Amino acid sequence: MATRNTPDQDARFVFSGTVKSAASGGGKTAEVTVQNVLRAPQTLADSAGSTVIVQLQPGEQLAKGDQATFYANPVRWGELVTVQSTGHIPAAAPVTSSGGRRRGVAAPGPPVTVKSHAELQLEEQVANADVVVSGTVTAVQLPGEGGAAKGMRRSAAAATPAVPERISEHDPMWREAVIDVRDTHKGSAGSKIVVRFPKSNDVRWRSAPKFQTGQEGVFLLHQDQVAPAAAAVPPGGARRAAAVAPPPPAASYVSLSSADFQPSEREETIKSMIRGGRQ
Amino acid sequence: MVGKLAKAKTAKPKPAAKKAAKNAATGAAKPAAKRPVLRRSLAASPGGPTVTVVNIIPRSLSGETNQDSEPNIAVNPQNPDQIVATAFTPDPAGGNLAPLFVSVDGGRTWTLNSIVPSSMPNREAITGDISVAFSPASNAFYAGILRFPAPQDDTRLSILRATDVSSSNEMEVLSDRIGVDQPFVIGGVSNIGGKDRVYVGDNDLAVKAPVTTSTIDVCLDALKAETTFKSLRVDSVAGTGQNGPQIRPACHSDGSVYVAFYRWLARSGSWQWNTLTITADVVVVRDDNGASGATPFTDLKDTNGSSGRRVAAGVQFPFNSTGAGQPGQQRRGGDIAIAVDPTNSSVLYLAWAAVEPATGYTLHLRRSDDRGVTWSSNDLRTIQEAINPALAVNSAGQVGFLYQQLTGDGASQRWVTHFRQSQDATFGNWSDIILASVPANAPPVNGPGGFDPYIGDYVGMVSVGANYYGVFSANNTPDPANFPNNVTFQRNHDFPTRKLLDLRGKEVAVSIDPFFFSITP
């Protein structure tokens, strides 16, 4: 029989399902058939109908045939996916002909907010952005090549990127995108802003947008951090001296995540998120 | 002295048509496919090597299209069924721990287990460069990674340890510092007197000139609860102030440790415009006491008295900023591999890359019988247009040589992954097992989701007993003709139509996957 736990509402995989089998002796895992996916990373978005292995929390119990809403986080991917339960809410049992409820489950759990992983990511991105603007990339330039904003961009051949003293295949190869701002949705921005981004196609920068002239959409931007974030510097770590070109002073913002740029079709959704005060 | 070599016969691939027909009959996966059955292909020659090739993407991730490049591997010598592989693979669920591929049945089946502390912003858990190794005696597992988050203008090294790679326990962080590139621990773990010695090769760009950057981060008792790693500079000769990222260790159970690296001498051309060319020496250093003394890695002298033997002088190679527009879509930047004979620490093998006028980007393989003092005057093998060498010497003293060679032209270019093994003491006769021959032009390295390096700046191979275990990355088209020594796909596929399928049977685009192999001579 299902026992009720207090699930973690931030669990990454939330689904309703039916217990196919529960491990005998100890009952630490259960095989559950997924019926409806309520929240999932992209890789599990289509998992309705499949079976997952649920590792139960201490004291959490499930029996064959139990139906519930499961809150879990994926931990292993093999023939099947194994998820660690953070708790489940038993489904309301159907009322029997005598007016009672099977399995004695008293009531359904609270309604589950159905959100995709992508929506959650976007919400986080909107919340964390210092500035959100709609606009168009009018130029991509080398760091400090300020003429671009005035329409005086030098040719690529004339431009001379700063040569790092030491070369790493993970060098970001910084570039700046000049954005003509059409509308500011969050924060404060002028009519033009400059965003630093890594041009490098190296794995380290795989998630960073590679802005192109003419690119139009919504930009979710973060204040440039010339100094590394405190949390990212290991204790006792010293910043590498001149290992790469110094960051440009002109750029006000930096873009390192693919979610920093959203197509224009998402503008209303983003504005709605901002109006909703989730940030 | 040349080591005693066991006689082995050359593997002969099966006729492709026969193989394709066999695979077509057995390889088509369905959404409800059962656990894959490993089909070991015996070479055509009776008594020849047993070759196993497995695409290690698990069935539950059949829909993935990630570029799982730059693989590495560790096999537990205490339990060779326990194997770990790595690649540029993100956590599929957007958690905050990056994954390892784990097998507990000798490589037949694989599970993705996220226990590596490294995650980028926006719910993407992945490492940068990663290499791995098991202790030869303690069951401990070690990893050297470029970790995220890292400062915007820097890299971050972490050295990690796990006691159980199958558990969900996050790996312990033994060392954590910034400014370091390409940590390399495969080949770098020994156990002396019950203590794990861990040697992580890395390119320490944080060190100030004129000290050069080739570094070994070493801990002589890595099993302790509180570990201390020392950063040892292994190149005593000032060059350009920077050496190449390939710092490759090779440990022996008698305490000998060798390290191979490129000593950069000069550079020309432009990094930004992808025309940079490096001139370098290929150098090997040695420490006879596991780097436990006051002057580590100074036991091997060059003819001029300086530490470190130059095996090749003034070689040249490109150092690409991207593989886009390059042959086979793969950036090149030099390649080095070294291995020591487990039966005789005086015997070692070294492979390196250099551009040659007649053969282009070329791998050279040589051998030393006297602890690196002298080397075979000619190449044991010379492989044109090849990258990603890996070397391992088995318990019979036989050297295995893994590499990826670019063949063909234009749209017909292919990456061909070879395993070669010396067949006799003359080194004139080598087996040649083709593990994969796949298109080099798909997917595009600069297309959606693509990045450098296309198939990786390195691969991995180790030996345990007589067997070789390795991993390489390649285009994952499920075409039996691409795998002349057979292959098993865990992920859903259909060999007759050469298509990948997701869990609902929908076609999945081709991408780069890691492939495990084992070879029993």
Give the per-residue pLDDT at B45: 42
Does any domain span residue A145? yes
Q: Are residues A263 and A130 in the same domain?
A: yes
Contact at CB, A240 and B206, closer than 8 angstroms:
yes
Q: Is residue A156 part of a domain?
A: yes
Q: Does the interface predicted TM-score (ipTM) exceed 0.85?
A: yes
> Which residue of A121, A166, A228 is in closest CB contact with B122?
A121
CB contact under 8 A, A244 and B177: no
- List, in sequence order, every residue forming a beta bridge with B301; answer none if it has no partner: B307
Instruction: Tell me whether residue A70 is in a domain.
Output: yes
Q: Answer yes or no: do A97 and A191 share one domain.
A: no
Is it the case that residue A247 has pLDDT exceeding 60?
no
Task: Tell me if B95 and A12 make a contact (CB, 8 A cut-off).
Answer: yes
| Strand ranges in B334-429 using DSSP code E only, listed in sequence order | 336-341, 344-356, 360-368, 381-384, 386-393, 399-407, 414-422
**Are A186 and A216 in the same domain?**
yes
Is-contact B166 B113, C-beta < 8 A? yes
Quick one: angle between helices A267-275 and A117-128, nearest 10? Answer: 60
Lowest mean pLDDT among A229-233, B114-118, B178-182, B368-372: A229-233
- CB B374, CB B321: distance < 8 Å: no
Share of chain A above pLDDT 70, in %: 70
Domain presence at residue A5: no
B399 vs chain A: nearest CA distance in angstroms? Answer: 30
How do residues B478-503 score in pLDDT, each as one tens digit? 999 999 999 999 999 999 999 999 99
Residue-level pLDDT at A93: 54
Whether residue A201 sits in one domain with residue A130: yes
Comparison of pLDDT for A250 and B97, the residue scoring more? B97
Q: How do beta strands A192-198 and A253-254 pair? A: parallel
pLDDT single digits (tens) A1-29: 555 556 777 888 999 999 999 875 555 89
A56 within a domain of the structure (yes/no): yes
For residue B165, the chain A residues in CB contact (below 8 A) are: none
* Per-residue pLDDT tens digits for B215-267: 999 999 999 999 999 999 999 887 788 999 999 999 999 999 999 999 999 99
Same domain, residue pair A168 and A72 = no
- Assess whether pLDDT exceeds 50 at residue B26: no
Q: What pLDDT sits at residue A164?
A: 59
Statement to judge: residues A140 and A228 lie in one domain: yes
Is the pLDDT reported for residue A81 higher than 80? yes
d(CA B340, CA B257): 9
3-class SS of residue A44? helix
Mean pLDDT of all residues belonging to chain A: 78
Contact A240 B213 (CB under 8 A): no
A51 with A137, same domain: the answer is no
Strand stretches in B273-308, DSSP E? 277-287
Q: Do A78 and B208 touch (CB under 8 A)?
A: no
Q: With CA atoms as reference, report the closest residue to B315 among B366, B375, B373, B357.
A: B357
For residue B27, is pLDDT > 50? no
* Residue B379 pLDDT greater than 80, yes or no: yes
The answer to the question of residue A6 being in a domain is: no
Q: What is the domain-level CATH number for residue A85?
A: 2.40.50.140
| B187 to A48, A266, B274, B318: CA distances (angstroms) | 44, 50, 32, 26
If one compares B138 and A7, the residue with the highest pLDDT of the two is B138
pLDDT-derived band of residue A178, with 50, 70 and 90 as boundaries?
Answer: very high
Tell me which chain A residues have a C-beta less than 8 angstroms from the C-beta of B242.
165-167
pLDDT band at B7 (very low <50, low <70, confident <90, very high): very low
Query: Among the three residues A85, A114, A143, which one is the final residue of a domain in this structure?
Result: A114
Is A159 in CB contact (< 8 Å) with chain B? no
Whether residue A185 sits in one domain with residue A157:
yes
> Is the pLDDT confidence value at A112 over 90?
no
Residue A232 has pLDDT above 80, yes or no: no
Whether the per-residue pLDDT at A235 is higher than 90: the answer is no
Domain of A211 in residue numbering reads as 123-277
> Rounded mean pLDDT of chain B?
91
- A226: pLDDT confidence band, cut at 50, 70 and 90? low
- The candidate with the shortest Cα–Cα distance to B503, out of A44, A76, A14, A117, is A44
Whether the CB of A202 is below 8 Å from some CB of chain B: the reply is yes
Given this model, what pLDDT does residue A10 score?
Answer: 80
In the prediction, which pLDDT does B121 show?
Answer: 73
Top-confidence residue, B35 or A128: A128
Same domain (yes/no): A79, A129: no
Instruction: Decide if pLDDT at B386 tops 70.
Output: yes
Q: How many structural domains are present in chain A?
A: 2
Same domain, A169 and A255: yes
Cβ partners under 8 Å of residue A86, min gap 6: A5, A7, A8, A11, A57, A71, A72, A73
**Is A4 part of a structural domain of the chain?**
no
Nearest by CB to residue B122, choosing from A73, A125, A170, is: A125
What integer pLDDT is reported at residue A8 of this predicted model? 78
| Same-domain status, A39 and A102 | yes
Tell me which of B28 and B312 has the higher pLDDT.
B312
Does A173 reside within a domain?
yes
Cα–Cα distance measured from residue B113 to residue A55, given in angstroms and rounded to the nearest whole number: 14
CA distance B124 to A205: 12
Confidence of residue A115 (pLDDT cuts 50, 70, 90): low
Q: What is the pLDDT of residues B283-310, one digit of tens each?
A: 999 999 999 999 999 999 999 999 999 9
Q: Which of A65, A95, A114 is the last residue of a domain?
A: A114
Residue B37, pLDDT > 50, answer no
Instruction: Check residue A159 and give its pLDDT.
Output: 47
- Final residue belonging to a domain, choices A114, A137, A167: A114
For residue A109, pLDDT beyond 60: no
CATH number, residue A203: 2.40.50.120
Residue A46 with chain B: CB contacts under 8 Å: 63, 502-504
Query: Given a cut of 80, is residue A97 above it in pLDDT?
Result: no
The region of weakest confidence among B206-210, B325-329, B447-451 is: B206-210
> Do residues A155 and A260 share a domain?
yes
Highest mean pLDDT: which range of A58-72, A254-268, B62-76: B62-76
